Amino acid sequence: MRDMNHDVNDEPWTTSAMPPRQTRQSWQRTRVWLGTLAAVLIVALLGGALLSRTHGTPGQLNPGHNGGFAPTMNCPPAKVKVTLPAHSEFASLAFVAPNEGWAVGVTIDPTQLTPTKALILHYYHCAWTPISFEIPNAGLSSVSMGSATDGWAVGTTPSNAPLALHYANGAWKQVPPPGAGELHGLFSYASVHMLSADEGWIVVNLQKDTHGYGASGLLHLVNGRWSLVAAPFPIITSVLPVAPGEAWVVGSASNINTVPVLYHYHAGTWTPATLPAEVVVDTLRMVSPTNIWASGHIGPDSGWPTDQPPSPPAVLHYDGSQWRQVAIDASGHPQVVEAFDGSTSWAFTLQPVNGPTTRWFTATTQYQRDGAWRTVANPPVSLFHYIDTLTRVEPDTYWVVGYYEVTQPNSNGRGSMGYDVPVLLYFANGAWHQYGR
pLDDT by 10-residue block (mean), the chain, 437 residues: 45 33 32 28 27 27 43 86 87 94 90 85 94 86 97 90 95 95 88 97 87 87 95 93 97 82 96 92 94 90 61 93 94 89 90 73 87 85 58 92 72 69 86 83
Instruction: Work out the burial of residue 139: count CB atoms within 10 Å of its CB; fewer than 13 is exposed, 13-18 middle, 19 or more buried.
Output: buried
Phi-psi region of 332 (alpha: psi -120 to 50; beta: other; left: phi over 0): left
Q: What pLDDT does 422 receive?
A: 75
**Of 192, 249, 247, 195, which Cα lies nearest the Cα of 223?**
195
218: left (phi over 0), alpha (psi -120 to 50) or beta: beta
Q: What is the structure's pLDDT at 15?
A: 30
pLDDT at 381: 62
pLDDT on residue 92: 92
- The predicted pLDDT at position 380 comes to 66
For residue 240, what are the contacts with CB-CB under 8 A and spacing of at least 6? 4, 19, 22, 193, 247, 248, 249, 284, 286, 292
| CA dihedral of 319, 331, 262, 196, whole degrees rounded to 10 | -70
Tell me the C-alpha distance between 357 and 352, whole Å: 10
Q: Cα(134)–Cα(340) distance, rounded to whole angstroms?
A: 36
**Predicted pLDDT at 306:** 57
pLDDT at position 165:
97
Q: What is the pLDDT of residue 419?
A: 64
How many residues comprise the chain? 437
pLDDT at 192: 97
What 3-state class would DSSP assign to 62?
A: coil
* Among the four given CATH numbers 3.40.50.12780, 3.40.190.10, 3.20.20.105, 2.130.10.150, the one describing domain 4-435: 2.130.10.150
Enter the pTM of the model: 0.82
Helices (H), 169-226: none
Strands 269-272 and 279-288 come out as: unpaired
Give 305's contacts (C-beta < 8 A, 6+ positions apart): 27, 29, 350, 359, 360, 385, 386
Distance CA 273, CA 424 (A): 36
Distance CA 217, CA 138 (A): 22
Q: Which residues contact 145 (CB under 8 A, 6 or more apart)?
A: 18, 20, 94, 95, 96, 102, 151, 167, 194
Query: What integer pLDDT is reported at residue 24 of this predicted model?
Result: 35
Residue 423: predicted pLDDT: 80
Closest CA to 311 of 335, 328, 332, 330: 335
Q: How many CB atoms lie within 10 A of CB 16?
A: 15
